[in-house]
Structure 1
């Protein structure tokens, strides 16, 4: 199956990815248990950082992301997909656009909008059913934002924190770009430049940004 194969971006044969999955390779574990364990590890061990943007191809390799301490939603999704494929579990990247409604002051200041695009999540195939999950927001960050962390049970979709603990709107999807077998870097770069043109007004030749 194509969603099990390695690629330039999903380079799961690399030692860093093999180390990532090492605790989930026991044959006694089911695919569901492996997926839940790896999802939780990627969610919480890499802190969410939406303010670092890269246009460089090499920075979207799973092995490169594995060596960092932080990642944005797309990067963390790539890392999780590589780990799942390494475990023999079909997975693919799903992209969309989301609007945040809480803690948006810095987002609006840096991006000129409270919408983030492309927003990455993961589709995983378990028991012949494709499920959506998003490892973006680490548990400690959710605590600061008074939002319940997204838990994945291996049976239901878990990709949207619509409200915080007080019932206030937290996030909504405003567009869906569909799923991809590999990382569509050209599409992502075009999408970023179209939605945040001011970032590139005076930095046309720069491929990495810390906003």
Structure 2
């Protein structure tokens, strides 16, 4: 159990910004279910969907950024849960890049690796593990996608989504599993106690030049695309 609660370089939950947030939101005063739900909803909706400089940055940096994707939101979610005394672990995968089409476009999409590193948080409640992948997309972003694709009720792939229930994806948590990208999974790396251990063994398939281009050019384009979609200013119909 100690392994699922320990602090690490990436899960830096004693950082003042994280401790202040946990105290201000009074999450420790709730019972286990509402504690997890409150933290989950915070990371899902108050940390916007977006692309950070790297997967392996510490939780305090993600909180400062105010945005994240699957891997970085997983880090922040784990850190906040551990700060509130909730045991958790990380499950690693790869997903097909098709689910990112629209968020990344043109030549940058063509040059991106086919398989993208992916993860979700698993939280332990009453000796049962629950999967919390539905934390990735903030509701304002997802709602805009649903409005622009109101004719789609079932399978949707693109813009950070790959689900068989696009009209009502299972993103609300109340002692259940949540998902939003799980249909894109094509490789399973298993579970790890910490993201630190996960990233020692697995990295995005980018060389030094590609990593530099992503950090300094591509992710800014992707974040602009995502923000435009969220605000209803930019949209490309990927079905055509």
TM range (shorter): 0.7 to 0.9
Matched, 1:186 2:188: no
Partner residue, 1:159? 179
SS at match of 1:67: helix
Q: Is the 8 A contact 1:38 1:83 kept in 2?
A: yes
| Pick aligned residue for 2:71 from 62, 70, 74 | 74
Alignment of 1:49-128 (within 5 A): 49-50=50-51, 52-54=52-54, 60-99=57-96, 104-107=101-104, 109=106, 110-112=108-110, 117-128=116-127
Structure 1 ranges of 4+ moved more than 6 A: 204-207
Residue range with higher mean Cα deviation, 174-183 or 105-114: 105-114
Does residue 8 (structure 1) correspond to residue 29 (structure 2)? The answer is no
Q: CA RMSD in A?
A: 2.7
* Counterpart Cα distance in 1 of 2:99 and 2:93: 19
Q: Secondary structure at the match of 1:83?
A: helix
> Which whole-Å CA distance do the structure 1 matches of 2:172 and 2:78 have between them?
17
Structure 1 stretch 171-180 or stretch 3-12: which is displaced more?
Answer: 171-180
- Quote the Cα distance in structure 2 between the aligned partners of 1:176 and 1:4: 23
> Per-residue displacement from partner, 1:12-49 (whole Å, max 9, x unpaired)?
1111111232214353x211100011000001111111
In the TM superposition, what are the counterparts of 1:196-211 in structure 2 within 5 Å?
A: 196=206, 200=208, 202=209, 208-211=215-218
2-structure distance, mates of 1:88, 1:104: 37
Gaps of 5+ in 1: 163-170
Distance 1:143 1:114, change over 3 A: farther
CA distance in 2, matches of 1:144, 1:100: 21
Separation (CA, whole Å) in 2 of partners of 1:34 and 1:137: 20
Provide the TM-score with structure 2 as the length reference: 0.69
Query: Tell me, what secondary structure is at the counterpart of 1:54?
Result: coil
- Identify, as 1 or 2, the structure richer in strand: 1
* Count of residues in correspondence between the two structures: 190
**Structure 1's 103 and 180: CA in aligned 2 closer, same or farther, altered over 3 A?**
closer
Is the aligned partner of 1:47 residue 2:44? Answer: no
- Per the TM alignment, residue 203 of structure 1 is displaced from its structure 2 partner at its CA by 5.0
Measured after TM superposition, the shift of residue 4 of structure 1 is 0.6
How much does 1:206 deviate?
7.2
Q: 1:143 to 1:207 in 2, by over 3 A?
A: closer
TM-score (norm 1): 0.77
How far residue 111 of structure 1 moved from its aligned partner, in angstroms, is: 4.0
Secondary structure in 2 matching 1:159: coil
